[in-house]
Amino acid sequence: MIKPHGSAELDPRFVYDTARHHALSREAESLPSLLLNSAAAANAVMLGAGYFNPLTGYMNLADTLSVADNLKTAGGLFWPVPVVNLTRETGIKAGSRIALRDPNVEGQPVLAVMDVQAVETITPAQVEAVAAKIFGTLDPKHPGVATFTGLGNTLLSGPIEVLNFSYFQADFPDTFRTAVEIRNEIAERGWKKVVAFQTRNPMHRAHEELCRMAQERLGADGIVVHMLLGKLKEGDIPAPVRDACIRTMVEHYFPANTVMVTGYGFDMLYAGPREAVLHAVFRQNMGADYLIVGRDHAGVGSYYGPFDAQTIFDEKVPAGALQIQIFRADNTAFSKKLGRVVMMREAPDHKPEDFINLSGTKVREMLGQGIAPPPEFSRPEVAKVLMDYYQSIGG
């Protein structure tokens, strides 16, 4: 199986040893507390789950600026997006040990224990410079920019030990999986070559066929459909609905033992190319050999070019920095001429009217009115799940 990023073995920050876990939990109750924001909590979950291997905790200012500028830490580790704990709290001292509390679970339980190695101020100018590098824009209407620039100016860095996986395990018991668990299941299934598919949306026919194309062309044994389970922007479809859609599609249209439906606990950054590279890093950590990167991967609005998330791997990722490779996907749509889903670039004789293409707005309107999109666009079983959802919220 492919090695994790930056180390020979995966080193998740979750405390699996029972005695150590109990001792930390008891200690945490007497420690000073910091209520995390959702972004820092999501980073803790990803560190705990092994997805951010080989990082042991939150980055300091030097690493944050270096990653933003050069896609590597000050020590030279390739990394595409800073992993930070930014806060507005100013009373925390370097050298202290603190309990990190979860903002997303009732009662704000302890999520992790942190050894605070440094407490640094990141200036507003530095926050803007980092945001501009990560997101390629400082437009406050960009959801990632709005979130990042509002987190605070105190940067806490140091290693953490994680005690739970926030709400993800309880809310998504059949779907949330750590990188450790996915690696173990890949081994149990006997898969030797694995393709990962990232999604924050339900999967329509084009997504389904794209996974099938990648599996066939790469000679892969299996596909890990890996969905984001954390916070999205307003208007995106909730994770339980996406989960139901994807499971329905896999159950009806893929052979047994060819697809794993899983999810991870992270908030969407909408960082386009940079987030695509981060997706590759943590898919390598979970054991995937390839990541499908399609049109406007991890994008939002019109902030990124349609294939910027592919070209960044050519232009910014040094040779050998990652073992995982990407499968480059074009727009996919149902061809009326050929009677199947194709990548548009592979049908040069087609005119636009030869494809069945529906805008997201049009699809939402149809579903809200109880009208199923054509079966060439969406499987009827999947459309039924979506129609029920849209009608439940009033279209």
> What are the pLDDT digits (tens) for 179-221?
999 999 999 999 999 999 999 888 888 899 999 999 999 999 9
User: Which class in CATH covers the domain with range 18-169?
Assistant: alpha beta
**Total-model pTM:** 0.94
Residue pair 55/84 in contact by the 8 Å Cβ criterion = no
pLDDT tens readout for residues 218-256:
999 999 999 999 887 777 788 889 999 999 999 999 999
Evaluate the CA torsion angle 44, 48, 49, 54 in order and state its sign.
Answer: positive
The CA distance from 52 to 278, in Å, is 9
The CA distance from 140 to 147, in Å, is 9
Residues noted as catalytic = 200-201
* Side chain identity at residue 142, one-letter code: H
The CA distance from 21 to 390, in Å, is 43
CATH number of 174-392: 3.40.50.620
The DSSP string of 163-184 is ---TTHHHH-TTTB--HHHHHH
Read off φ and ψ for residue 269, nearest 5 degrees: -90, -30
pLDDT tens readout for residues 115-141:
999 999 999 999 999 999 999 999 999
pLDDT of residue 395: 55
pLDDT of residue 264: 97
Residue pair 206/231 in contact by the 8 Å Cβ criterion = no
b vs e for 52-75, b when ≥16 Cβ sit within 10 Å of the residue's Cβ? bbbbebbbbbebbbbbbeebbbee
Does residue 78 have a pLDDT over 70? yes
Residues 3-32 have a mean pLDDT of 97
Domain spans of the chain, in order of start: 18-169, 174-392
Residues 19-46 have a mean pLDDT of 97
Average pLDDT over the chain reads 94
